[in-house]
Amino acid sequence: MKHRIVVLGAGYAGAFSAGYLARQLHSDDFEITVVNAEPDFVERLRLHQLAAGHDLPHRPLSEVFGGTDIRLRVARVISIDAEHRTVTVADGEGIDKLEYDTLVYALGSTVADHGVAGVTAHAFHVAARPSALRLRAHLDELGEDGSVLVVGGNLTAIEAVTEIAESRPGLRVSLATNGELGGWLGPKARRHLLRTFDRLGIWIHEHTAIERVEEAAAFAVDGTVFAADATVWAAGFAVHPIAAASGIEVEANGQITVDRHMRSVSHPDVYVAGDSAFVIGDNGQPMPMSCASAGFTGMQATAAIVGDLTGRKSKATALTYFGNHISLGRKDGIFQLVDSDARSKSGALCGRSAARVKAAIVGTSGWAVSRPTFGKPNHKYRLAATREHAPATAAV
């Protein structure tokens, strides 16, 4: 009987992990199944562009995994029974239960409402394709006359508000953040950020916490009322509650607690990649939820799986950031360099050059995920007769 590997989620982390495993593991010994709620690979890094009115490449997962031995199951994950190694899924035909020997948990994250009243009912967000399309349709209805408030001060908020302001110049666009906009950036990058907001006519409301959202307005803690035909909530991310409900050990925020190999500390047959993993980076700080983390954790998880199942020594992937890439519309951007402690350096690449770097990174990521075996399904390694989780790693 083949060793059954089930990958939950086909975003950047899940799609990469499935493709890498298909390329490395011999199909005579391993069966790989990917479960994803949507039939297409979604470039989450570009959903703010989709919401603003730009079209994205269509990447059906059936084509992405075509030519591999990966089985695709388009279904929604309902629950996990980590003790009995089963996953319950639902699709148009009903509810089914999948059995696994090794599980790759890569369900990612969704928007965090922080308990703010009205966010779920009235706010838009760009953390998933359906919600980005809903925002796009609403902006189309507004046309050239309307107001948009983006709530948040992180990378997603900055990219969303600048993309909307640039793509739809007739709208009145503003941003509210409970801190200082771009306060974590170096001085050069922050100056460029503020100049860009001024150029695009975006109103900035710093140190402004929103406590309630209604259909046509957002209400701040200090009593300020922001009239808004569309409130876009971009105030951080939260992981899905499925892991916590499964009995797998999680942190207070619901992320799965893993070791350096991305194995669950409570269930070592569960490996985690992407936003759902709580792991300490090389700088001693928890890895943030981001596309970069998806790459690092995905590489480490798959290296550990190959090592654990085939008896090979696992490689240790560096968990180190070099900088933050921020799009400011289609022709502007910032590449903020950071030090070993992830603190911004004084140097930064700004303007068109930074936009080209960001576009190249995003384009390369989409291209690579769409070619999981790079046309060479090698199927190198066989299942070891005796397997154990090896603590040793070989640094790369």
Give the helix/strand (H/E) hosting 178: none
Query: Which residues are within 8 A (CB) of 333 and not within 5 positions of it... i.e. 6 or more apart?
Result: 325, 326, 327, 350, 351, 352, 354, 355, 357, 358
Q: Token pair for residue 199? A: 């150029």
Dig out the tokens for 229 from the structure.
């035909």
Half-sphere exposure of residue 189: CA atoms within 13 angstroms, side-chain side: 26
**What CA–CA distance (Å, rounded) separates 363 from 366?**
5
Q: Cα separation of 23 and 17, whole Å? A: 10
Instruction: Determine the Cα–Cα distance for residues 199 and 165; give it in Å rounded to an integer.
Output: 10
* Contact by Cβ (8 Å): 175, 61: no
Helix then strand then coil, in percent of the chain rounded to 5, is 30, 30, 40
pLDDT tens for the 396 residues of the chain, in order: 899 999 999 999 999 999 999 999 999 999 999 999 999 999 999 999 999 999 999 999 999 998 888 999 999 999 999 999 999 999 999 999 999 999 999 999 999 999 999 999 999 999 999 999 999 999 999 988 899 999 999 999 999 999 999 999 999 999 999 999 999 899 999 999 999 999 999 999 999 999 999 999 999 999 999 999 999 999 999 999 999 999 999 999 999 999 999 999 999 999 999 999 999 888 888 888 877 788 889 999 999 999 999 998 888 888 777 778 899 999 999 999 887 677 788 889 999 999 999 899 888 888 788 777 665 556 688 998 765 554 444 433
**C-alpha–C-alpha distance, residues 177 and 183, integer Å:** 11
Cα 214 versus chain centre, distance: 27
CATH number (3.40.640.10, 3.50.50.60, 3.30.70.270, 3.30.43.10) of 3-108+240-320 reads 3.50.50.60
Handedness of CA 351, 357, 362, 363 (dihedral sign): positive
pLDDT of residue 121: 97
- DSSP H or E segment with residue 330: none
**How far apart are alpha carbons 200 and 208 in whole angstroms?**
21
Torsion of CA 105, 110, 112, 116, to 10 degrees: -130
Identify which of 153, 145, 159, 155 has the alpha carbon closest to the alpha carbon of residue 205.
153
Q: Are 3-108+240-320 and 115-234+322-376 the same fold in CATH?
A: yes
| Distance (Å, whole) CA 49 – CA 55 | 8
CB atoms inside a 10 Å sphere around CB 87:
25
Q: At what angle do helices 12-24 and 352-369 cross, to 10 degrees?
A: 50
Task: Tally Cβ neighbours within 10 Å of residue 183.
Answer: 11
pLDDT of residue 394: 41
Dihedral (CA of 393, 323, 263, 28) sign: negative
Give, in order, the Cα–Cα distances in Å from 308 to each of 134, 269, 389. Answer: 43, 10, 5
Residue 121 burial by Cβ neighbours in a 10 Å radius (0-12, 13-18, 19+): exposed
Tokens of 108: 């990612």
pTM: 0.92
Which DSSP symbol is given to 34?
A: E
How confident is the model over 153-202, as pLDDT tens digits? 999 999 999 999 999 999 999 999 999 999 989 999 999 999 999 999 99
What type of residue is 176?
A
Calpha distance 24→303 (Å, rounded):
10
User: What is the C-alpha separation between 236 and 245, in angstroms, rounded?
Assistant: 22
**In this structure, CATH architecture of domain 115-234+322-376:** 3-Layer(bba) Sandwich (3.50)
- Domain locations along the chain: 3-108+240-320, 115-234+322-376
pLDDT, tens only, 111-120:
999 999 999 9
Q: What torsion, rounded to 10 degrees, do the Cα atoms 364, 369, 371, 372 define?
A: 140
The tokens describing 302, both together, are 């798959």
Which pLDDT score, from 0 to 100, does residue 281 have?
A: 83
